Amino acid sequence: MIGRVNNSLISICLGLVLAVPFAVAAEDEVNVYSYRKPKLIDPMFAEFTKQTGIKVNSVFAKKGMIERLQSEGVNSPADLVFTVDIGRLSDIKNAGLTQSASSKRFSDDIPANYQDPKGHWFGLTTRARIIAASKDRVKPGEILSYEDLADPKWKGRICTRSGKHPYMVALTASMIAHHGAVGAKTWLTGVKNNLARKPQGNDRAQVKAIKEGECDLAVINHYYMAKMLKDPEQVPWAESVNVIFPNQSGRGTHMNVSGMALTKHAPSKDNAIKLMEFLASDQGQAMYVQNNGEYPVKPGIAWNDLQNSWGEFKEDTLSLAVIADNRVAAIRMADEVGYNN
Ligand code: FE
């Protein structure tokens, strides 16, 4: 009888261990939930461990992070959350799952427009939403701004992904901030009217469509150029387009971030802050630039070769917190103009 009880206790314990791989917060560890692919952040974690002796346990998830943190509640082992896009960062904050870390040293390294005013999330890298233009069919200087995308001269010549994808939502949210709801809606209607096809696929699929002659302009995140140039099948797609950083004579190019947030119940808060500091340090930022092709959020960090080949550009300094506030209106606007229809 005793033996049977012990056996079932053991299997219950095993089940818990499997479901929650790092339930106990060890003194020299930090636990991370990540929407970022392991290969993008593992090199930084390894370097951090080498320097501090603090082990980083990371769990990669494609979705469901908010639900997981909510169901774990105060017992969550997670100290830090890593994700891309202001939408996801602000969703985690708005769900009440984060805490402020703004009094700490690294927050001074990150420009104010790329962090939550109350310190609940911080950008680590930035990504420019650029225009890719056919080398064969669009002359240099023919398109200079996001506003130009609504010009009827581009009718039937533009490809984008879904108007409700977070990358497009953030761009529309920035247009709302700059032009007001009425101006932004006129713009989005104009872009929709210029689409060559129903929105579909990811950013790279739009460049492929340019290569194949289906459209002449696409809106993409800059690092997909680097990714395409590393994939033999996709090199011709990348080489069929010129890269345009929009709005250089005005407010600058729309930027988004990948970022991090300290969880509300972080059991290893001190270690988590140390990891945040490392990732925002010169060394952490330089690793992001070289490994991921994203721009450093911290000023003064050397760029990679592709970034240097494109040269300096002006960034829109609109606070991502403002973009976050306009996201719901932007999603509604995509529906109202039938962007995806
Ligand atoms: Fe992406």
Q: What is the mean predicted confidence (pLDDT) over 76-86?
A: 95
What is the model's pLDDT at position 17? 36
CA of 12 relative to ligand 1 center, distance in Å: 39
CA of 14 relative to ligand 1 center, distance in Å: 37
Please tell me the distance from the alpha carbon of residue 320 to that of residue 123, in angstroms, as a whole number.
9
218, β-bridge pairs: 132, 159
Q: What is the mean predicted confidence (pLDDT) over 89-110?
A: 90
Q: At what angle do helices 282-292 and 269-280 cross, to 10 degrees?
A: 70
10-14: long-range pairs with CB below 8 Å, 24+: none
CA of 26 relative to ligand 1 center, distance in Å: 33
* Phi/psi at 150 (5° precision): -90, 0
CA of 221 relative to ligand 1 center, distance in Å: 7
CA of 218 relative to ligand 1 center, distance in Å: 15
Q: What single-letter DSSP state applies at residue 256?
A: E
Nearest partner of 52 among 34, 25, 24, 28, judged by Cα: 28
- Report whether pLDDT(140) > 70: yes
Q: Which domains does the chain have, with CATH numbers?
A: 7-126+256-310 (3.40.190.10), 128-254+314-336 (3.40.190.10)
Q: What is the mean predicted confidence (pLDDT) over 152-168?
A: 98
CA of 254 relative to ligand 1 center, distance in Å: 15
CA of 178 relative to ligand 1 center, distance in Å: 24
CA of 7 relative to ligand 1 center, distance in Å: 47
Residue with tokens 């103009």: 337
Nearest partner of 270 among 29, 17, 9, judged by Cα: 29
Helix residue spans in 78-222 (DSSP H): 86-94, 166-194, 203-211
CA of 197 relative to ligand 1 center, distance in Å: 21
What is the model's pLDDT at position 291? 85
Q: What is the mean predicted confidence (pLDDT) over 13-25?
A: 43
Q: Are 222 and 311 contacting, i.e. CB atoms less than 8 angstroms apart?
A: no
pTM for the whole thing? 0.90
CA of 167 relative to ligand 1 center, distance in Å: 8
CA of 220 relative to ligand 1 center, distance in Å: 9
For 75-86, what is the HEC assignment? HCCCCEEEEECH
Choose the weakest-confidence range: 29-43, 230-244, 264-278.
29-43
